[in-house]
């Protein structure tokens, strides 16, 4: 739950304002539809109350999800504008699903110079420092605990 709160925390105040406005606009539109433009034969009162919650709340939550994709893609140094558009425009949340499948590892800071580097980088592009363990033979990233390089067979 703490992690969830931290993740939600990356959504900036401007994005929250947009999420709020999406929810508000939908709620107002539905209320207007049933009151100002109300006519006999409309659904009964309880059904109208239900629709006023059941339509804008999930769509507002979806807008928050898209705001999360925007903030998260930016944090991971991905093409955040493109991913936000894909998340918003591809129907049935397929864009959002694709994002969670394809997103890059979380960016970190280079221990040498402090530059923000992608999680899958082996060397810092700013100062050339080694970011993870590398195989001395083929220079590919090796994982902790390996005794032999999985790519070229060199003993580590």
Q: Toward Zn ion, which CB reaches closer, 20 or 140?
A: 140
Query: Which one of 49, 126, 148, 156 is in contact with Zn ion (CB under 5 A)?
Result: 126
Is 122 in contact with 132 (CB distance < 8 Å)? Answer: yes
Q: Does 131 bind Zn ion (CB under 5 A)?
A: no
Query: Which one of 137, 146, 148, 156 is in contact with Zn ion (CB under 5 A)?
Result: 137
Q: Toward Zn ion, which CB reaches closer, 14 or 155?
A: 155
Q: Toward Zn ion, which CB reaches closer, 112 or 132?
A: 112
- Number of Cβ within 10 Å of residue 44's Cβ equals 8
- Find the binding residues for Zn ion in span 89-118 (CB under 5 A): 110, 112-113, 115
Task: Please give the Cα distance from 108 to 77 (Å, whole number).
Answer: 10
Compute the least distance from the CB of residue 26 to Zn ion, in Å: 46
Which tokens in the block code for residue 60? 């507002």
* Rg of the chain taking only CA atoms, in angstroms: 24
Which tokens in the block code for residue 139? 């220079």
Which tokens in the block code for residue 41? 């034969």
Q: Does 138 bind Zn ion (CB under 5 A)?
A: yes
Task: Please give the Cα distance from 109 to 114 (Å, whole number).
Answer: 5
Listed in sequence order, the residues at least 6 apart from 45 whose beta carbon sits closer than 8 Å to its beta carbon are: none
Helix (H, G, I), strand (E, B) or coil at 105: coil
Window contacting Zn ion (CB under 5 A); options: 4-12, 20-28, 46-54, 129-137: 129-137
Compute the least distance from the CB of residue 108 to Zn ion, in Å: 11
Q: What is the contact surface with Zn ion in residues (CB under 5 A)?
A: 110, 112-113, 115, 124, 126-127, 129, 135, 137-138, 149, 151-152, 154
């Amino acid at each position: 739950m703490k992690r969830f709160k931290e993740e939600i925390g990356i959504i900036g105040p401007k994005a929250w304002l947009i999420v709020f406005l999406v929810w508000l606009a939908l709620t107002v539109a539905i209320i207007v539809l049933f009151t100002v433009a109300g006519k006999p034969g409309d659904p009964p009162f309880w059904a109208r109350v239900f629709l006023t919650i059941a339509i804008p709340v999930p769509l507002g939550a979806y807008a928050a999800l898209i705001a999360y994709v925007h903030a998260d893609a930016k944090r991971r140094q991905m093409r955040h504008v493109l991913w936000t558009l894909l998340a918003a425009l591809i129907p049935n949340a397929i864009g959002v699903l694709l994002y969670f499948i394809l997103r890059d590892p979380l960016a970190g800071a280079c221990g040498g110079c402090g530059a923000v580097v992608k999680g899958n980088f082996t060397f810092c592009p700013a100062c050339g420092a080694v970011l993870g363990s590398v195989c001395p033979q083929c220079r590919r990233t090796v994982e902790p605990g390996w005794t032999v390089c999985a790519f070229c067979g060199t003993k580590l």
